[in-house]
Homo-oligomer: A and B are copies of this chain.
Amino acid sequence: MNSSSVQSLAGVADGRPVRLAVDCMGGDHGPSITLPACRAFLDRHPDAQLLLVGRPEALAPAEGWARCERIAASEIVEMDDPVEVALRRKKDSSMRVAISQVKPADDGRAPADACVSAGNTGALMAVSRYVLKTLDGIDRPAIATVMPNEKDGYTTVLDLGANVDCEPEHLLQFALMGAALVTAVEGKPDPKVGLLNIGEEVIKGSDTIKRAGELLRSAADAGLLNFHGNVEGNDIFKGTTDVVVCDGFVGNVALKTAEGLAAMLSSFIKQEFTRNAYAKLAALVALPVLRHFKHRVDHRRYNGAALLGLRGLVFKSHGSADAFAFEQALHRAYDAARNRLLDRVHDRIVESLQALPAAETPVPVTKTA
């Protein structure tokens, strides 16, 4: 997950600095958290460069920072702006300008390696799709995030809400992209993929899920994928597989349900440890233990969802992220760029289209990078 664990991957780093474009105005807090996060990120990665995008006056604190370029954008996509506003009206938004940095420029200038924004998800997906387009062979981009698991590792889950209705072919594409993501960011060469279902048996689930299962088994037979089979909701936290694939409706419900339960339990623990004088004393004694527990399940450490399937890397930070959380999203984007996530996704999709001609191919495949 963190960069040090990934830099041990042989043959990935090519010595070139990694350049990230940052939407400094996005999220609930804007520059007051994005700039300190950028500062901490730069200190951590001597080989990183940042393109800070936002209103010039808001970016003033970053004046004179080494390895930083400030790029002016006059507008801001608000957290409650409808997708249409972000897409059609705010053409000079910090979000859109930041995403555009990832696209090869007409003047031949090398594009940024990835973009990071804490802006609203719907707008970020729509603008990214409009500006960058999808990779050949990908019908629909997906949103992937990680959740902690009992093995003290991470389970990557996708899609988390970009696609409410999915065909089996889309779930196969998600599986391939999720596997590429885990390889790039966690350094696992052959991540295990599970299909989220309501039982382990192959006869379970809707027709779409059953057909997706068949498609994933064919992909596994063709050596494209390490397919484990069906998994259930609890397997996300058991860490049964590295990747869990589902449609965006189900993924979003699972993620929000988990967030809701975590918030409730955390509030209950606080209530119990402040209930009376004895409980408060116990809290003092237990503080180091509770702190360690809190650190272990700190959702800020998992911040940074990947928008996969686009012709460029875009990472989405939680809108309410603080500086620590936003910095984690920057690290994830850095790791993904450093370890060639875009090429890995592209290669897996091309390989699959060649090996599984039965899978729908909406357009002929051409090399995009």
B-binding residues in A (CB < 8 A): 148-150, 161, 164-165, 196, 198, 205-207, 209, 232-238, 246, 248-250, 252-265, 267-269, 272-273, 275, 278-279, 281-283, 285-286, 288-290, 292-293, 296-297
Q: DSSP class of A's interface residues: helix, strand, loop or mixed?
A: helix
Check A198–B248 contact: CB distance below 8 A.
yes
A296 to B254, CA, bound (A): 23
Instruction: Find chain B residues with CB under 8 A from A292 CB.
Output: 272, 275
Check A234–B254 contact: CB distance below 8 A.
no
A258 to B256, CA, bound (A): 10
A268 to B206, CA, bound (A): 34
Instruction: Find chain B residues with CB under 8 A from A278 CB.
Output: 288-289
A79 to B296, CA, bound (A): 36
Ordered by A's residue number, 23 sampled pairs between the chains whose C-beta atoms are within 8 Å are A161-B198, A164-B198, A206-B249, A209-B249, A232-B256, A232-B260, A233-B255, A233-B257, A233-B258, A234-B259, A234-B260, A237-B260, A238-B264, A253-B254, A258-B258, A258-B261, A261-B262, A265-B265, A269-B293, A275-B292, A278-B288, A282-B285, A283-B289
Instruction: Find chain B residues with CB under 8 A from A293 CB.
Output: 268-269, 272
* Known interface pairs A206-B164, A289-B279; A268-B256 also in contact (CB < 8 Å): no
Instruction: Find chain B residues with CB under 8 A from A265 CB.
Output: 262, 265, 297
Check B198–A148 contact: CB distance below 8 A.
no
A110 to chain B, nearest CB (A): 37
Instruction: Find chain B residues with CB under 8 A from A148 CB.
Output: 264
A285 to B207, CA, bound (A): 53
Check A205–B249 contact: CB distance below 8 A.
yes
Given A165-B206, A268-B297, 13 further pairs, Cβ under 8 A: A148-B264, A150-B267, A164-B205, A164-B206, A206-B249, A234-B263, A237-B263, A237-B264, A258-B261, A262-B265, A265-B265, A272-B293, A281-B285
By beta carbon, the residue of chain B nearest A206 is B164
Q: Which 3 pairs between the two chains have the least Cβ-Cβ distance?
A: A234-B260, A233-B256, A233-B257
Instruction: Find chain B residues with CB under 8 A from A258 CB.
Output: 233, 257-258, 261
Instruction: Find chain B residues with CB under 8 A from A205 CB.
Output: 164, 249
A176 to B17, CA, bound (A): 60
Check B286–A260 contact: CB distance below 8 A.
no
Check B272–A296 contact: CB distance below 8 A.
yes
Q: Looking at the complex, which one of B206, B233, B289 makes contact with A260 (CB distance below 8 Å)? A: B233
Instruction: Find chain B residues with CB under 8 A from A232 CB.
Output: 252-253, 256, 260
Instruction: Find chain B residues with CB under 8 A from A149 CB.
Output: 264
Instruction: Find chain B residues with CB under 8 A from A289 CB.
Output: 272-273, 275, 278-279, 282-283, 286
A18 to B259, CA, bound (A): 40
By beta carbon, the residue of chain B nearest A258 is B261
A267 to B286, CA, bound (A): 17
Instruction: Find chain B residues with CB under 8 A from A237 CB.
Output: 257, 260-261, 263-264
Check B285–A252 contact: CB distance below 8 A.
no
